[in-house]
Amino acid sequence: MRKFLALAFFLTSATIFAQGVVTGTVIDSDMDAPLPGANVLVVGTQAGGMTDFGGKFSIETDRSGGFIEISYVGFETLRVPFSVTGGQTVDLGRILLSPDADALEEVIITTYSIAIDRKTPVAVSTIKAEAIEQRLGNQEFPEILKSTPGVYATKGGGGFGDSEIRLRGFESENIAVLINGIPVNDMENGRVYWSNWAGLSDVTRFMQVQRGLGASKVAVPSIGGTINIVTKTTDAEKGGSAFYSIGNDGYEKVAATVSTGKMDNGWAATVSGARTTGNGYVDGTEFSGFSYFFNIAKEFGDHELSLTAFGAQQRHGQRQNALPIELYRRSESGTRFNSDWGYMNGQVTHIEDNFYHKPQISLNHYWDISDNTQLSTSAYASFGSGGGGGYGGVNKFGVGDFNDPNPYRFGYLQPVNLDLIVEENMERGALGSETYLRASRNDHQWYGVLSTISSEIFENVEFTGGVDFRYYQGEHFTEVTDLLGGRFVFDDADENNPLATAQVGDKIDYHDIGTVLWEGLFAQVEYSQDALSAFVTVSGSNTSYKREDFFNYLDTDPARETDYQHFLGYMTKGGANYNLDDRNNVFANIGYFEKAPFSNAVFLNFMNDINEGAENQKVFSAELGYGYRSTKFRADLNIYRTEWNDKTFVQRFQQPDGTTASANILGLNALHQGIELEFNYRPASKLTLNGMISVGDWTWRNDITDVDIYNEEQELIRTINLYVADLKVGGSAQTTMAAGADYEVFEGTTVRVNWNYFDDLYAEFEPETRSTRELGQSWELPEYGLVDFGVTHKFDIGNLEALLMGNVNNVLDTEYISIARGGINDGVFYGFGRTFNIGAKINF
């Protein structure tokens, strides 16, 4: 018996002391950031697991030594030796995983300025391709960001691609949007039209939202923040995928991707395309779109060339006009009601619609000059064609009153009967169309070059500098699209042909060309050693505007074309991050920049009248941040303050005699400040919890009094006051919260639930509407919360990998107002009720 107990004790002891733990952190060598989801295995055993969202792993093993094998799609498989004494824990530290050596090195222009965790001192959130693929479904592309601190994303009026995004209370013209490092904000007005990029969700590798000053080195001063979208490049392996999805209201999407992989001759190419159609959740918003992506690349010694082209050709009906709440409640369609469509010859006809195609082509060159110096250059071109539809002439499309309904509709709050308008126009004969359909066009061409050199000038000190040149020319005009039964339409807008009769395709109302030149220089010095990293960036730019007007001036009039109007701007910013230890870090940044006004503030009255008083907008921003990282928990806390002074604001007035008057309002300032918390917690290997809280205080800071209004002859005709001090900025929820959970119920199947909450949301208003102090704050919208649910199932079909996914958004069918304009009795847009989609993807 004693011998048996001794033997048992010996065997047990041997087992206990042989048991050890191997830990480490897997790092993406390109981004110097943790690589979550990498497979880790003790070679020759079944012991293994996956890295958490901090890139960390911990594996128990009964072996005293051997190899840990780490693998991840698109990266080289790496084996790391280990040795462990019984009962001990061995930390292998940072393990760098490099891209597949057989694949082309991805060209990432350094102006992408992707923020690196625990190094770049900015507030940042990153969304990767897998999350976009599985969670977006049939939502709008910017809505994938709705759980990001400081973000307020809506569907706008509800048309396909009409979504809007605001960041820390700032509209899209004050948010820099970069696609593969290339700015895409409209160069005349700063806006971003997401319908132009409807196919981006299919080809995005990851998206990074940098709030506040951001890490971008190019001279793109953004007030609210920067959204970096990095698309996929040539795939490392030969193969592809096929995707199909359906959803509510006739939504259907078919997509495919094919890649050659790296061929024997060193070339590689990837092609992707998708077709999306649907009826739209909102009445009269049918849509169809085709998106495409193409990339071809090759290495030449120390050089690499990569040619990329992508775009999305689309057309969709719109809900352009916001309506009072009472009309939605009376309508049979409820919150889906849209007054901007009807029937003609039994076919749906969109009174308001949008059609556009804006392909972007870029040729990227990467030169590894030496071990310490790299040069990245991107030459790009973009060609936009299309516009937004609407009506011209007499407005016969109003909704009417309950007791006096519009006779041109099928009934009160029913679609428009355009056949009645066609009959009337046909009877008018030589008088031409009284009402017709038209499109406001903006056809443009945009060329640019971005070139950046980066070099380690001293140990731990890196210099980055470059140039940013852009040329933009946009042609603006109104085009007749449907005479609605008439023979022509009269148009007296062209001074060179004041008695013109226009046919379909002819230009009417206005016709002008705006040209914008941009020359930018930027330089940055970055220091990084051990726990400390810091940078200082300076940049300067010259923005030049020119306008040529073909209608308001005779061909012989020298005022028909202006000279270039120049605006010098500059930016300086700096920041530092310090890692207190392996888990805690703090950072701070501060910056000041001056931003050129947009074109509409330079040329007044939609003519070549030059605003001599136009000034740069002035922005000061500062931020403090704290980060915590552990194996199971991570959190980021940020406090920010942004002062926006001399906001570009030009007020126009129509005089009784038909002339216009304008006021150049200076000194209008706003303060945007707040606190943001974002966190993730992984209590178990199969469960991830995440959440965020963002509380903002965005207000107008001061009144503007005794503003003089002058007419075209520079005669003083009126003095106005703007009473906006301490009023909340409208249009974006100032308090937002989110919470979510992802749980792998069994191998390959994950369910997820997300909740988003929005409060302190005020109706949009223009400061000039507050001419008396009694008008006060705009209407505060009701708070609301939304619940989304999703499921993903991965499985194999023979040798093929397959994926099933489904999403239900707004599970509880909550009714809410997402946008309001003016007072409680003015126009609003309701958000969508319950929607769904299901899809399947096969990789081959």
Asked if the structure places residue 142 within a domain, the reply is no
For the chain, give the number of residues. Answer: 844
Could you tell me which residue, 26 or 715, shows the higher pLDDT? 26
Tell me the pLDDT of the chain averaged across its residues: 88
End-to-end CA distance of the chain: 62
| 660-704 pLDDT per residue, tens | 666 677 788 999 999 999 999 989 888 999 999 999 999 999 998
Instruction: Note the pLDDT of residue 711.
Output: 64
Instruction: Note the pLDDT of residue 714.
Output: 65
Asked if the structure places residue 232 within a domain, the reply is no
Domain count, the chain: 2
Confidence of residue 233 (pLDDT cuts 50, 70, 90): low
Is residue 18 pLDDT above 60, yes or no? no
Is residue 9 pLDDT above 60, yes or no? no
Last residue of a domain, which of 77, 97, 117?
97
Confidence of residue 217 (pLDDT cuts 50, 70, 90): low
Asked if the structure places residue 175 within a domain, the reply is no
Is residue 750 pLDDT above 80, yes or no? yes
Spatial separation of the C-alpha atoms in residues 594 and 567, rounded to whole Å = 10
| 477-507 pLDDT per residue, tens | 999 999 999 999 999 999 999 878 999 999 9
Confidence of residue 126 (pLDDT cuts 50, 70, 90): confident
Asked if the structure places residue 128 within a domain, the reply is no
DSSP state of 237: S
Q: Distance of CA 50 to CAs 40, 95, 364, 690, Å?
A: 6, 14, 35, 19
Average pLDDT on 161-165 reads 93
Kindly tell me the burial class for residue 349, based on how many C-beta atoms sit within 10 Å of its own C-beta (0-12, 13-18, 19 or more). buried
Asked if the structure places residue 223 within a domain, the reply is no
Distance, C-alpha 551 to centroid of its chain: 36
Instruction: Note the pLDDT of residue 108.
Output: 43
| 599-616 pLDDT per residue, tens | 988 998 888 988 888 888
- What range defines the domain where residue 696 resides? 239-843
Average pLDDT on 547-567 reads 96
Instruction: Note the pLDDT of residue 220.
Output: 61
Confidence of residue 334 (pLDDT cuts 50, 70, 90): very high
Is residue 6 pLDDT above 50, yes or no? no
Residue 245 CB contacts under 8 Å (≥ 6 apart), including other chains: 137, 138, 251, 252, 253, 837, 838, 839, 840
Is residue 14 pLDDT above 80, yes or no? no
Could you tell me which residue, 373 or 16, shows the higher pLDDT? 373
| 645-661 pLDDT per residue, tens | 888 777 666 666 666 66
Q: Give the residue from 158, 130, 139, 126 showing the smallest Cα distance to 807.
A: 139
Asked if the structure places residue 221 within a domain, the reply is no
Instruction: Note the pLDDT of residue 110.
Output: 43
Instruction: Note the pLDDT of residue 201.
Output: 82
Instruction: Note the pLDDT of residue 15.
Output: 40
Instruction: Note the pLDDT of residue 52.
Output: 72
Asked if the structure places residue 834 within a domain, the reply is yes
Instruction: Note the pLDDT of residue 394.
Output: 96
Spatial separation of the C-alpha atoms in residues 812 and 785, rounded to whole Å = 10
Instruction: Note the pLDDT of residue 301.
Output: 82
Last residue of a domain, which of 97, 129, 154?
97
Last residue of a domain, which of 81, 97, 113?
97
DSSP state of 329: H
CATH of the domain at 90: 2.60.40.1120
Asked if the structure places residue 317 within a domain, the reply is yes
Confidence of residue 99 (pLDDT cuts 50, 70, 90): low
Token look-up 């699209």 returns 481
Is residue 101 pLDDT above 50, yes or no? no
Average pLDDT on 266-292 reads 94
Could you tell me which residue, 214 or 523, shows the higher pLDDT? 523
